[in-house]
Structure 1
Amino acid sequence: MKVFKTSGVCAREIRFKINDKNIIEKVSFIGGCNGNQSAISALAEGQTVKEVANKLAGIECRNGTSCPDQLSKALKKLA
């Protein structure tokens, strides 16, 4: 499982697992709003890294970022 320390959002970190075909198998957020993050995880799991990273990039909540945007950054950096 890879771990990404977030910045500018309520969640402290994002943990995710990607298989050898670049499919996201698991996403979990530590801290923050459970409902929103559960929805993001459910939508991302089973999708390709590229597809999810591109769709979520640039979504803003506050501080010029959001939990979806942070997941995009995590996938681009660590996947």
Structure 2
Amino acid sequence: MKHYTYMPKGVCSVQIDFDLEDGKLHNVSFTGGCNGNLKAIGLLVEGKDAKEISSILRGNDCKMRGTSCADQFSKAIDEVLASN
């Protein structure tokens, strides 16, 4: 299992941590942001396929920012998958 840390841009959360093993997401956590909602995302994506989750979360907007914590998570996933 490989651990990744991503620093999101333009959102309330300041850090996203997650593990990836065999294309599956594990131990997703956000630092900052809407605590309850972001904990829920971590629980909902546990053990799920990273490509599928990225596709679902990509483009989600928060407060007309053009991005969101979920969208930033999709960018983190895409970045990791592209580098592997």
Give the TM-score normalised by structure 2: 0.88
Q: Which residue of 2 aligns with 1:9?
A: 11
Q: Secondary structure at the match of 1:16?
A: strand
Unmatched segments (≥5 aa) in structure 2: none
Q: Does 1:40 align with 2:41?
A: yes
Cα distance in 2 between the residues matched to 1:7 and 1:68: 12
Aligned-residue CA RMSD in angstroms?
A: 0.8
The alignment covers a number of residue pairs equal to 78
User: Residue by residue, what CA displacement relative to the aligned partner does 1:31-53 show, whole Å, maximum 9, x if unpaired?
Assistant: 11110101111111110011100
Q: Which residue of 1 aligns with 2:77?
A: 75
Task: Give % identity.
Answer: 42
Q: Which has the higher contact order (CA 8 A, sep 6+)?
A: 1
Which is richer in strand? 2
Q: Secondary structure at the match of 1:74?
A: helix
Matched ranges for 1:56-75 at <5 A: 56-62=57-63, 63-75=65-77
Unmatched segments (≥5 aa) in structure 1: none
